């Protein structure tokens, strides 16, 4: 019986009901709906039941840090949780998260500053550290 979606009101007004309706309108799997709703609910509760529209990158960072440090959640679980919150933010709320409107174009640079004889040089190589 756990694989049968819960019925929704015809005109949902509660945040989580509207979020569920949004997921169903996109024909995502019921298991995905349950997973995303669980993580979004956890995110909201972690921040004292604040509305997600009032939260952005710093709140997501604090929540993920709590997972890593306090609850010692695995990296793959944290990735799933982040994906749920990013979906909620970008798709459902249509707001930027962490200052980026398109995460697919966001690059994260990791550098070892030093003199390189071969390979790709970094803009940080010319700076004095």
CATH number for the domain harbouring residue 31: 1.10.150.130
- Contact yes or no for 59/77 (Cβ under 8 A): no
Banded model confidence at residue 11, pLDDT cuts 50, 70, 90: confident
Q: For residue range 37-69, what is the model confidence (pLDDT) as tens digits?
A: 999 999 999 999 999 988 888 899 999 999 889
In a domain, 60, yes or no: yes
Number of independent structural domains in the chain: 1
Domain with 40, as residue range(s), is 15-98
pTM of the model: 0.70
């Amino acid at each position: 019986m756990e694989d049968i979606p819960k019925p929704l009101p015809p005109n949902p007004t509660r945040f989580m009901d509207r979020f569920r309706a949004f997921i169903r309108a996109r024909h995502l799997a019921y298991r995905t709906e349950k997973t995303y709703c669980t993580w979004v609910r956890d995110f909201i509760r972690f921040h004292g039941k604040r509305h997600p529209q009032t939260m952005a990158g710093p709140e997501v960072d604090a929540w993920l840090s709590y997972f890593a440090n306090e609850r010692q959640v695995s990296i793959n679980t944290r990735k799933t949780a982040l994906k749920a919150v990013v979906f909620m933010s970008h798709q459902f709320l249509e707001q930027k998260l962490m200052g980026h409107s398109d995460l697919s174009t966001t690059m994260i640079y990791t550098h070892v500053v030093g003199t390189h004889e071969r390979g790709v040089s970094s803009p940080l190589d010319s700076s004095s550290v």
